[in-house]
Amino acid sequence: MGPVGCPYRVGMRLSAVLGALAVLGGAVTAAPTASAAPELACAWQFMSDATTLNVAFPDADATYWVLPYTLFAGDRITLSGWYPNARYMSLNTYGTDFDTVDTLRDNEITPDDGNANPFTDPTAAALSPDRRRWHVTVTTGPADHGRNEIAALPTGAGTQQLPAGFLVIRVYVPDDASSPTGGVPLPQVSLTRGDRTVDIATCSAPFDPAAVTGGPLGSAAESAFDSVIASAAAAAFPGNTPEATFVDPASTSGLFPNGDNKYVGAALSHQPGRVAVVRGRAPTFPDTRAGVPVTEPGAQVRYWSMCQNDLVSPYPVVACAADFRTPVDESGYYTYVIGTAEDVPAAAVTDPTVTVLPWGSTDVARKVLFLRHMLPSPQFHPNSVQASQDSGIDPATSMGEYYPRATYCATATYQAGGYRACFD
């Protein structure tokens, strides 16, 4: 596919991003008219996880597949998919500013006739994938979630805006850790433009940005992503945020946010001979890896995790501890210790109630910890991350014992007295 031709007045940064994506993935280009608009070359061109396209603070227990698109009035994309064997699945659409347009999650997607949805009916988990089918339409018009529709473009998008965006499918904690898709294929994709419908084959392999690193195209893609994501992350977590204190981000716009997650974050900096220690009460969750259905009553959240990330563009994740990987003590509290291998005390490593998160490269002097809460129950909502951001109340107040309290601690102090000595 040739270079992108773009008659719209869009910023150079946006043009670079879309141009790099279009050429690298063979996906979409902008065109002055719908009739001239090229079509998708293959579906799900990009995959992001903790090792591939690790950008914008991903969760290490989730995998993200990306479908760029250009859709004009009346165009639509039809997805034909299967509910995965996993903790969570959702479809999200994003504009060219990497901000959310619409979200349609697993338990909102009505199954095809004669099929069942395991995210609403626990007996459906025992059915074969062919009995767990669904269809969703990505539409340029108003979207009705009750009809399995998701909006492709921001409401009121003007004629001078590029009619392009990104569809992302997320799968968290597949039952089989070796199958990121949750034991089912990625959704089949078809594009309808006018009276013509074309089936789009799934890409044989997602595009690997590392394959072009160092070349002009790879450099352009890397620079474009870095520029957009760095701008968004700077607004999300300003430099004057106090260290080792969890606060609400100012914004997550521009970071491909998941509408079902909210976060509190704490900035950290490296200093030899000390670690960061975090304590808080763990919410309950449906442990799907242990065979508990997501519909199990009484769970306080669908999912939660603590992730350690580089506070430098493109903001990759270093390590995460998901809920099911985080041990708790007899009171239901977790303890995280974050530091380099030489700084983490032996008392933390040998304690079965402590989770150690690596610092990663000390060449990156500043890090950020993020605590995620996904889909809190109505009963738990007042103590969730979501509540503090809905109300504007300081999370240290609204979250109560579920607030993650963090402190720096000398390695020797921890070794002598455990985590309690660090909070004295």
Long-range contacts of 294-298 (CB under 8 A, 24+ apart): 294/87, 294/88, 294/106, 294/107, 294/118, 294/119, 295/119, 295/120, 295/121, 295/122, 296/122
The SS3 of residue 272 is: coil
Q: What local confidence, expressed as pLDDT, does residue 259 receive?
A: 84
| pLDDT tens, residue by residue, 209-234 | 555 444 444 455 555 555 555 555 55
Place of tokens 């089949």: 188
CA angle 376, 378, 383 (to 5 degrees): 60
The pLDDT-based confidence of 420 (bands split at 50, 70, 90) is: very high
Across-strand partners of 276? 338, 408
Tokens of 128: 């074969």
Q: What local confidence, expressed as pLDDT, does residue 96 receive?
A: 78
The pLDDT-based confidence of 14 (bands split at 50, 70, 90) is: very low
3-state helix, strand, coil in the chain (%, to 5): 25, 30, 45
Q: What is the mean pLDDT of residues 272-278?
A: 95
Across-strand partners of 337? 277, 356
Longest CA–CA span in the chain (Å) reads 74
Residue 292 DSSP symbol: -
Task: Look up the pTM and report it.
Answer: 0.84
Tokens of 390: 């809905």
As a whole number of angstroms, the distance between CA 410 and CA 422 comes to 8
| pLDDT tens, residue by residue, 94-117 | 887 778 899 999 999 999 999 999
The SS3 of residue 40 is: coil
Q: CB-hemisphere CA count at 13 Å for 323?
A: 23
Q: What local confidence, expressed as pLDDT, does residue 17 receive?
A: 40
Q: What is the mean pLDDT of residues 117-124?
A: 95
Query: Which helix (H) or strand (E) covers residue 216, if one does?
Result: helix 216-236
49 or 22: which carries more pLDDT confidence?
A: 49
Q: Which residue in 336, 328, 348 sits closest to 414, CA to CA?
A: 348
Work out the percent of the chain whose per-residue pLDDT is above 90. 53
Instruction: Give the other-Cβ count within 10 Å of 32's Cβ.
Output: 11
| pLDDT tens, residue by residue, 377-418 | 999 999 999 998 888 888 999 999 999 999 999 999 999 999
| pLDDT tens, residue by residue, 131-159 | 999 999 999 989 999 999 999 988 765 54
**Environment class of 205 (CB within 10 Å of its CB; exposed 0-12, middle 13-18, buried 19+):** exposed
